[in-house]
Structure 1
Amino acid sequence: MDSSNISNATYVKDLGPCYFDQGIDKFIQYVLPVIYSLLFFFGLSLNAMVLFFITFRTKLWTPSTIYMLNLTLCDILYVSTLPFFIYNWVNDWPFGEAVCKICNFLFEANHYGSILFLAAISLHRFIGICYPVHSLSWNSTRRAKLVSVGVWACVLTGQAPVLYFTDIGDYDNSSYCHVLPNQTLSGAFLVYGSVISVGMFVLPFMLVIVCYGLMVRKLLEPSWGSEEGQQGFRAAHRTKQKSVKMIIIVLMTFIFCFLPYHLVEFWRRLILYDSEEEHESTPAVQNNKGPRTCPPIRLPSN
């Protein structure tokens, strides 16, 4: 084996889970910033428009309005962090440790906040369609406010450890702000991330699937909405159409936006943990650049 092959093998072993081929490196460096720039532009403008109409044009506030307001706030806070990470993909992180921790905290908290509020909207629609009598007392604005406060408390508490795991790390002579630059915490991060993924993604996703499955079964009943005459039948038909559209939108959001993000994050946590286990059982590779850490990969999730 010649010296160049030895050098390349040492480099790959040194990087461990952080080794990427040139194609993935180019994707991270050029494609992801473009995707996130488009996401920031359209996400901020569209959600700001929704926020304006909800705040200034809504006369009658309903539980759905309250949930949509909170979901919109989550999306706005989420996209507000993207310019920092876009800049960090092409330059060193210049904003300091505190801003690094806050950005990652807002990124993760509002990501999971969007998931939980979508689940709350789904549960609200399920009660209204499958239990219309009970919905008169359960689906009230007061309960919607209490649920919203509970969701925010759950999200902020559950994502508080992100402030501990997040730091600025070095990779290939560049500084990156991301969660877990210190791989010695990979074991704790694997446990924490798995608990959060199950509690704030898997369980809400299962709740959404169950609710929408029961809603579809109820809507397909021939007798649903036919007991109130022709006018009631037309109203029921419009409700069916709106419900089916919402079911498709929410399920597609979970499948195409949230699911890939969590699969990639789970894969990353496992590789970081395996790398740390291998590092503890084998001598460390020494070089003159100091320890390396993984560069951040944040797939679009909202």
Structure 2
Amino acid sequence: MSSPTNMTCPNVTFQNPEQAVFIGVYSVVFIFGLTLNLTALVVFFRNSKSRSHIIVYMIHLAFADILLVCTLPVRIYFHSRLGDPHPIICEISGLIMLSNMYSSIFLLTCISFDRCIAVCFPLSSRVREGRKKAWCVCLGIWILTIATSLPIYIKKKQANMNKSNTENFICFGGFPFYATETAPLVSTLIIGFGIPLIVMILSSWGLIRAISKSTAVQTSDLVDSAKIKRMIITNLAIFLFCFLPYHIMLLILSYKPSCSVLTAYRYSLMVACLNAMLDPVAYYFTTETFRREMEFEAVCKIRQMNSHSSDGNNRSRAPLTT
């Protein structure tokens, strides 16, 4: 196994074909990601009167994605080889990217979980009260991601100050030393990705199971259960497509540091950035679909309760059983 401290990869990312790929993808993500997320924020704030708890998560998700895409011009400039950005600009933009990438992961997890409990337990007062704490959860996510990202910046600053010269500094071409250390790596793979992935999978399974067992949905022509299931699976697939390769390559890079693996790691980071462009599209349509579906379920539930109360039966049957 080669040592990362002694590993040098000349021209590993500076070949013309690779330059074009990075520049093209980052440019597309920046333009569409910024436009779509700003549009989403405008829509959310214009409909503030009807804002639901899940919209709170989506507003914060849009902010996180906007902050992420705003770091991409620095990477586009770097790969264009027009000049090397200042080391501080490189470090801060890298810090913002990673911090908001994990903010997006946690917020996407919260959105999935919130939908699951809202559909599976539509009449639970405890669930309703818990969902009202959405803004507290978002605040906790921002504090967590910022607090865990700052050590990366501090570590890099200390490393640069200890170097006798900084002539070999490469903005985004260096080895991610801190991220591949044992403690940060384990916490990243478990807390930053593993637990959110498990929650996403269980929430998706719970939603599909609840919809499949809902008599109101299955017997109604107003709600397309197959479409809802496809959207749930699509959202989970986007999550896996964007974030799974990055964390796999991070793990491989920590155990087998090489120039080829380092290049694959950079490509996986580029793929992870695609999420900022895909989020507003995927979650806008699913939010609209779930809103209509839950409104329909609420009407059916009220009718069922009125019917039972008129017959003297106080039993309550939820339309979505778990």
| TM-score > 0.5 by shorter chain | yes
From 165, 171, 174, the equivalent of 1:177 is 171
The answer to whether the 8 A contact 1:119-1:204 is kept is yes
Which residue number corresponds to residue 315 of structure 2? none
The answer to whether the 8 A contact 1:126-1:212 is kept is yes
From 207, 211, 214, the equivalent of 1:215 is 207
Separation in 2, partners of 1:182, 1:21: 15
Give the C-alpha shift of residue 161 in structure 1: 1.9
Separation in 1, partners of 2:61, 2:133: 16
Q: Please give the secondary structure, in 2, of the residue aligned with 1:177.
A: coil
Separation in 1, partners of 2:89, 2:50: 38
Separation in 2, partners of 1:14, 1:149: 37
Identity %: 24
What residue ranges of structure 2 are gaps of 5+ in the alignment?
A: 276-322
Which residue number corresponds to residue 246 of structure 2? 261
Give the C-alpha shift of residue 215 in structure 1: 1.6
Equivalent pairs, count? 258
Is 1:80 equivalent to 2:70 in the alignment?
Answer: yes
CA-to-aligned-CA distance 1:45-78 (integer Å, 9 cap, x gap): 1111111111234322211110110110111000
Q: Structure 1 residues 16, 135: closer, same or farther in 2, change over 3 A?
A: farther
Which residue number corresponds to residue 194 of structure 1? 186
Which residue number corresponds to residue 18 of structure 1? 9
Q: Structure 1 residues 179, 111: closer, same or farther in 2, change over 3 A?
A: farther
Give the C-alpha shift of residue 299 in structure 1: 2.0
Give the C-alpha shift of residue 124 in structure 1: 0.4
From 77, 80, 93, the equivalent of 1:90 is 80
Q: Please give the secondary structure, in 2, of the residue aligned with 1:18.
A: coil
The answer to whether the 8 A contact 2:118-2:127 is kept is no
Letter in 2 for 1:247: I
Separation in 2, partners of 1:179, 1:120: 33
Letter in 1 for 2:271: P
Which residue number corresponds to residue 152 of structure 1? 142
Which residue number corresponds to residue 197 of structure 2? 205
The answer to whether the 8 A contact 2:121-2:127 is kept is no
Q: Structure 1 residues 255, 82: closer, same or farther in 2, change over 3 A?
A: same
CA-to-aligned-CA distance 1:147-183 (integer Å, 9 cap, x gap): 11111111112222221344679xxx87422486585
User: So what's the TM-score if we normalise by structure 2?
Assistant: 0.68
Give the C-alpha shift of residue 254 in structure 1: 1.4
Q: Please give the secondary structure, in 2, of the residue aligned with 1:59.
A: helix
Separation in 2, partners of 1:138, 1:52: 26
What residue ranges of structure 1 are gaps of 5+ in the alignment?
A: 1-12, 276-293
Is 1:300 equivalent to 2:291 in the alignment?
Answer: no
Separation in 2, partners of 1:63, 1:246: 20
Separation in 1, partners of 2:150, 2:231: 32
From 34, 45, 54, the equivalent of 2:35 is 45
Is 1:143 equivalent to 2:133 in the alignment?
Answer: yes
Say which is worse superposed, 109-118 or 128-137, in terms of deviation: 128-137
Give the C-alpha shift of residue 222 in structure 1: 5.2
Letter in 2 for 1:192: P
Is 1:110 equivalent to 2:110 in the alignment?
Answer: no
